[in-house]
Chain A
Amino acid sequence: MIRIALKMLVGDRPKYIGMILGVMFSSFVITQQSSIFTGIMTRTFGFINDSPLPDVWVMDPKVQYIDDIKPLQDTQLLRVRGVDGVEWATPLYKGLLKARLSNGVFQNCNVIGLDDASLVGGPGNMIKGKLEDLRRADGVIVDIVGAQGRLAKILPDGSRQTLDIGDTLELNDRRAIVVGIASISRTFQSQPVIYTTYSRAMNFAPRERKLLSFVLVKAKPGVAISDLARNIQSQTGLKAVTAEEFKHMTVMYFLKYTGIPINFGIGVLLGFLVGTAIVGQIFHNFTLDNLRYFGALKAMGASNGTLLRMIIVQAIVVGLIGYGIGVGAASMFYHVSKKSELAFRMPAELLIVSATAVTVICVIAAIFSIRKVFKLEPAIVFKS
């Protein structure tokens, strides 16, 4: 009877296509919106991802997320280094500074000051130049997106030219020479990112008593990272978290204090509701149209269990095809837009989430139909 169920489904072409489109729409919207949401959330901790070496990030106790800079005194670095179990600890500066471009335009940039000796926290993917080139006088490394975009040189004819090695910028009235171009993870902040050494960053940054943003710590071999973080916290009074904890902290901040989850949640919910309405309605109509056939099947000896299986198979087929096309369309969307600034991340977990949503949609649609068929009196077959 499964083949009969499939033929009944496929034979009613308009409703069959309508149901698939409904599921496809839901699956696409749910996957696409959730992927953008996940992409944005991933960007919030992109900088932490780009700094894989440190095990522990140490910061002011009031810091809530990666861009919430509450500077420390430089002496805190020494205190952290004094904690048992610390292999090494390096300073990191992170702050927004104004860069003056060759055409005189000012552009806010995210300046990262790396430990002069080790350059820990530097970009891992250099497109031009080497990380060590930062040691050259006035050297800075610029991210490729910034170099091609907001930091690009404006030529006399108005065209833009990508910032390249050897080009200069002014940061807080001080000269900076581009010594490298790097590819880095996009972050939630849209400003260009400029890497330099910690000491040079101190010169670029306006004079303040405290300028140290984070202390990056590596645990000695055999030392548990979580224990080390706890020790640093108890001995220095600073906040010390593992990289994973810092990512979690950052994401939680954005989830709690921004409207991002609500905005995307509404998109996902709408996709779910509209999909449920479309598929539920069409599936219900499909069943109503076939009610006399179901009645005839019942009269001819088909049990409720057989009819249930038929409807479930129909729902599964619609769900699988619609889901496949929807997720495929979301992947295509990603493929087409991956060179744009759109944040898009589609991990396997997300596919499970959208598959679950589609399953719920199909189950709801099928339940309406199943109820109708179960309540059906086979005697209706004799009504002309």
Chain B
Amino acid sequence: MTTGVPSNIAVHCAGVTKTYTTETTTVPALRGIDIDVKFGELLMLVGPSGCGKTTLISVIAGILDHDSGECLVFNRDLKHMPDKDRTKFRGENIGFVFQAYNLIHTLTAQENVAIPLLIRGVVFDEALKKAAEVLQRVGLGERLTSLPSELSGGQQQRVAIARALVHEPKLIVCDEPTAALDHDTGQKIMGLFREVAIGENRALIIVTHDSRIFPFADRIAKLDDGKIIAVATAKEFLNGNQHL
């Protein structure tokens, strides 16, 4: 446990660096990231491809180690946590929404949503019951037994959102959640996010290229070449859209 971070801060990054090294090349992906994410906030990370957005959410979510700097999630330093504890921490505190949904194609929507609970050891039937409730909240109460292949892209993303919410994590990280969706569906999904995923004790970080969903953000951080070059409210960004 590290102290000194205000209690309203869910994620605190200071001087975070990450370099990918292969036998022949060295690619700095993060070059000293400083950013805080507050509870109850929806932060969007934007920027061109290869600027380090995905690397940053991977570090924040504890699935990738940064090289230097400090990254605290709920005041916990995941980098220095034993692997087992870090995995458990992720399971309890972080929800994921992936661009490709990553719904297991042989499981029903309800079973897919139940997975985070099953990982935490909740009994199967209980997990299914809770999953059904959350699917109801995202408007898929009628599609509990549908396989992912029987759902539209928007519906699959709703299932993914339900899966990210079912165990009531305090942080949800989303990678391009609307990239594969048409405009209307994207707007609906973001509306859903704002409706069900934001709360006093929860923070939401979304990596996106999709400028159409910027209005849904509380703040937007723009990255370029591994650095945050601008942080502003959505309104500020939209007013000065030429900077994006």
Give chain A's interface residues, CB within 8 Å of chain B: 1, 3-4, 7-8, 10-12, 290, 292-293, 295-303, 306, 377-379, 381-384
Contact = CB atoms under 8 A, between A and B. Distances in A.
Nearest to B64: A379
Nearest to B53: A382
23 contacts: A4-B111, A8-B104, A8-B107, A11-B105, A11-B106, A11-B107, A292-B100, A293-B102, A293-B104, A297-B115, A297-B119, A299-B96, A300-B90, A300-B115, A300-B119, A301-B87, A301-B92, A301-B119, A303-B84, A378-B63, A379-B64, A382-B57, A382-B98
A365 B181 CA distance: 39
A295 B54 CA distance: 15
A381 B160 CA distance: 13
B118 interface: yes
B153 interface: no
A10 B107 CA distance: 10
A300 B116 contact: yes
B124 A296 contact: no
Contacts of B87: 298, 301-303
A1 B61 contact: no
B99 interface: yes
Interface of B: 54, 57-58, 61, 63-64, 84, 87-92, 94, 96, 98-100, 102, 104-107, 111, 115-116, 118-120, 124, 175-176, 179
Nearest to B98: A381
A1 B112 CA distance: 11
A382 B91 contact: no
Nearest to B118: A1
Given A4-B118, A10-B106, A293-B102, A381 B96 contact: yes
A384 B102 contact: no
Contacts of A3: 118, 124
Contacts of B102: 292-293, 295-296, 381
Contact of A299 (B90, B99, B111): B90
Nearest to A293: B104
A8 to B, nearest CB: 5
B96 A296 contact: yes
Contacts, number: 83
Given A8-B107, A301-B89, A302-B87, 20 more contacts: A4-B118, A7-B104, A11-B107, A12-B106, A293-B102, A293-B104, A298-B63, A301-B88, A301-B90, A301-B92, A301-B94, A302-B91, A303-B84, A306-B119, A377-B63, A377-B64, A379-B58, A379-B64, A382-B99, A384-B176
A290 B106 CA distance: 10
B87 to A, nearest CB: 5
Given A298-B87, A301-B116, A7 B63 contact: no
A382 B54 CA distance: 7
Contacts of A302: 87, 91, 119
Contacts of A378: 63
A41 to B, nearest CB: 47
A290 to B, nearest CB: 8
Candidate in A4, A8, A297, A382 with the most chain B CB atoms within 10 angstroms = A382
A58 to B, nearest CB: 69
A377 B91 CA distance: 16
A348 B189 CA distance: 61
B115 A303 contact: no
A7 B118 contact: no
Contact of B175 (A297, A301, A382): A382
Nearest to B91: A301
Candidate in B90, B106, B175 with the most chain A CB atoms within 10 angstroms = B106
A12 B87 CA distance: 28
Given A301-B120, A381-B63, A4 B104 contact: yes
Contacts of B94: 301
Contacts of B116: 300-301
- By Cβ-Cβ distance, the 3 closest A-B pairs, closest first, are A301-B91, A11-B106, A378-B63
B193 to A, nearest CB: 18
Contacts of A292: 100, 102
Nearest to B63: A378
B91 A300 contact: yes
A383 B64 CA distance: 13
Contacts of A290: 104
B120 A7 contact: no
Nearest to A384: B99
Nearest to A1: B118
